[in-house]
Chains A and B, each alone.
Chain A
């Protein structure tokens, strides 16, 4: 029989691969820079009119699974005249070699220089990716400041949750998009396509102006910020005619019409999530006051049980993944979650496919769902998030879980065979005292005691995991003062002592925590204004990279950079972080419209301080947060009454199309 010969790797005409390849044996995990994953797309450069480089500003292992980038990558590549390629943050070892050998920031798909693209879209789930953005811009050979860029440079667009306050990076990005990206990228593509077809009239400035006129793309250069003598913002106003006073977020309605990702990327290197993830709904109206995601993604929009079923089947068939994640901000709240879980569990019984349901609530229903999902034998861990230690603080944050609920739920988990549960809390919440945090220890002790009594076994454990609270824009806590890192660290030490005060119970309790310092910097970046850009730049120039990684993050570098740059503006690090804002202060993001009514947010902040709880409009009448009327949207929930049809999952081989057997 004849044996086909190997084909050389196709190298695009404008690829930097020949320069990059010799560097790869000298760096750690070179496979992350190679590309060519199942699901990856390489299109003809010259046949495309609009070309996007999409970046998740962290390492490949974190960035590849990002749902947002995967969706936009697929949506854009489905357009015949548009191409989209991906780029990730390179580790410092490769960055050094790229600088030494003049290799620019490249895409992993066809290894093209990022500077050659029309649009460079960067998705920020966290503000700690800002220094990595600067590395990518600089490596790409693009001027660091938006003001210095020419028609030869791509338009840099920020998206993701952090883009709801892009002011700290306003000097470095050309534009920001608030909200859902699916339709936004299509609209931007159409504007770029038309502008290019007309011969790019007016250059970069005209293109940015056309984007700004949509009222859903924020172009910072078209807005001036004036400050009061005390450092607060006086006003933010457009400096060009035709530019809207406020920029509005995008909301994709009818998720069934956008069933992405259809062809999920299968990573070549190890990544943080290796699963087919499907969003079962977007938005959340539980109203947890610390949760930015829950506030800025309203209203709730469910994907129907039938679409979810179809996506899971096709996504698994395409990718070969063995895990399915049913994602949302509170998955057990889907109106058809019971039928969805039992239907999927039924279909995949006896296969190697496991199902997981992150972000669930604290009640027994959750255990029923977990039971269904573990039918294949594999029990995934159970995590519950009471968030606050005391009943009082849970009223402040609007997390309506009672201590009895929690203990009953965890004990149910133990009696159903789970040996280990994880409890998630926050430290540094508004109005918090030492006592509120110490109640976490009492709660954990009671969980173990009740669990031992119910199971008659000492072989049960719980892990207390505690993170630092960071106040975020567009939430009722946007006015709140942050607690100082020393106070946070002291409370975390007290909690550890309290947990271990009873040695027998303490042995069954794991304790994980994060220091207060990184949270303070995240707080500076999340509620910062344009002046914070100088701090980011200083930190980056001093070597700041990968700030989301504890082994790379340097608190001192941030503190020093803030001390060097901010006093010139009459403000300092504390002014941005530990200072409580007043009702009438102009906030840096007031001109960016998340749909939430500022008066409602202020009222909810006052309700928090008086420990008054707010119901969920999924089940109770509208409480006028403002989103639906402002955005002309509505809650979209089931039940549809449909069930998952018993499909037979394909177990056989998937042959590439066109191959004859």
Chain B
């Protein structure tokens, strides 16, 4: 791994749009600077071996130019809301989508900020019952699926939930379970494309 110059060298590593604390994710991306070229497959295995169970490194590609952050345009999230009636959630979602603007408030590092949680939301749907919630549970559970554009200040799943409280008074009785399913570039059709695809096509991975 490469290190920055200076009195206290730091490893060259940067995270693009990391998920908030307490949120599960299936799609996190980061860039690492290395001292010398290595086989990406070997790098993936080495990193994966050093990380905790549940933190899995799935793939590594050689960067061919352009920052990773520029390729993160949107995220897809799934929010499980245990003990929430799906019909009530659907009403709240309808109120949210019909609003021009939904102002929410959150404490950020810069202090309390008020911003619009509506415009960044590209898609917001109540999932059909065929999607099984994680964990076996007999209590009803509503599931929300979201596609949110990467903006500043970022609009996070908890901001959208705040928005549902603002427009429809939806108050989940227990803590929601949030999971990021994907992030990447956004196509005109609203699909999310793996941000590593561009490098994967162009990169030469030895032996393949």
CB atoms of B58 and A656 under 8 A apart = no
| Interface flag for A493 (CB, 8 Å) | no
- Range class of the B interface residue count: 20 to 34
Residue of A22, A654, A656 near B175 (CB, 8 A) is: A22
Q: How distant is the Cα of A1 from the Cα of B44 in the complex, in angstroms?
A: 14
**Contact present for B45 and A655 (CB under 8 Å):** yes
B110 contacts the other chain (CB 8 A): no
In angstroms, Cα B91 to Cα A63, docked, is: 49
Of A6, A9, A352, the residue contacting B58 (CB under 8 A) is A6
Q: Are B58 and A653 in contact (CB under 8 A)?
A: no
Interface residues of A in 1-40 (CB under 8 A from B): 1, 3-10, 18, 22, 24-26, 30, 34-38, 40
Interface size in chain A (residues, C-beta < 8 A): 33
A650 within 8 A of B: no
**Bound-state Cα–Cα, A656 to B56, Å:** 13
Assess whether B65 is interfacial by the CB under 8 Å rule.
Answer: no
Find chain B residues with CB under 8 A from A9 CB.
53-54
Within 8 A of A (CB), among B31-57: 38-39, 41-43, 45-46, 48-56
B173 at the interface (CB under 8 A from A): no
* A contact residues around B59 at 8 Å (CB): 1, 3
Contact call B43/A653, Cβ cutoff below 8 A: yes
Main secondary structure of the interface of B (DSSP, over half): loop
The verdict on A654 contacting B56 (CB below 8 Å), with A1-B208, A25-B22 known, is: no
A659 at the interface (CB under 8 A from B): yes
Partner of A655, one of B21, B22, B49: B49
Per-position 1/0 for A263-292, Cβ under 8 A of B: 000101000000000000000000000000
Is A661 engaged at the interface, CB distance under 8 Å to the other chain? Answer: yes
In the complex, the answer to whether B56 meets A653 with C-beta atoms within 8 Å is no
With a 10 A CB-CB cut-off, give which of B8, B39, B50 has the most chain A CB atoms.
Answer: B50
A10 engages B53 (CB within 8 Å): yes
**Would B49 and A656 count as touching, CB distance under 8 A?**
yes
Interface centre among A5, A22, A377 (most CB of B within 10 A): A22
Chain B residue at minimum C-beta to C-beta distance from A36: B52
Q: Which partner residue on chain B sits nearest A657 by CB separation?
A: B49
Check B3 for interface membership: any CB of A closer than 8 A: yes
The answer to whether B208 touches A38, judged by C-beta atoms less than 8 angstroms apart, is no
CA distance A36 to B55 in the complex (A): 10
Using a CB–CB distance below 8 Å, which chain A residues touch chain B?
1, 3-10, 18, 22, 24-26, 30, 34-38, 40, 266, 268, 320, 352, 377-378, 653-656, 659, 661
Cβ-closest 5 pairs across A and B? A656-B49, A36-B52, A25-B22, A9-B54, A653-B46
Q: Which residues of B contact A (CB under 8 A)?
A: 3, 7-9, 21-22, 26, 38-39, 41-43, 45-46, 48-56, 58-59, 135, 174-175, 200, 205, 208
Starting from the known contacts A7-B56, A25-B175, A320-B50, 6 additional A-B residue pairs (CB-CB under 8 Å) come to: A30-B21, A37-B52, A653-B46, A655-B45, A656-B45, A659-B49
23 contacts between A and B (CB under 8 A): A3-B58, A4-B56, A4-B58, A7-B53, A7-B56, A9-B54, A10-B53, A30-B21, A30-B22, A34-B52, A35-B52, A36-B53, A36-B55, A37-B52, A320-B50, A377-B7, A653-B43, A654-B49, A655-B45, A655-B49, A656-B49, A659-B45, A661-B45
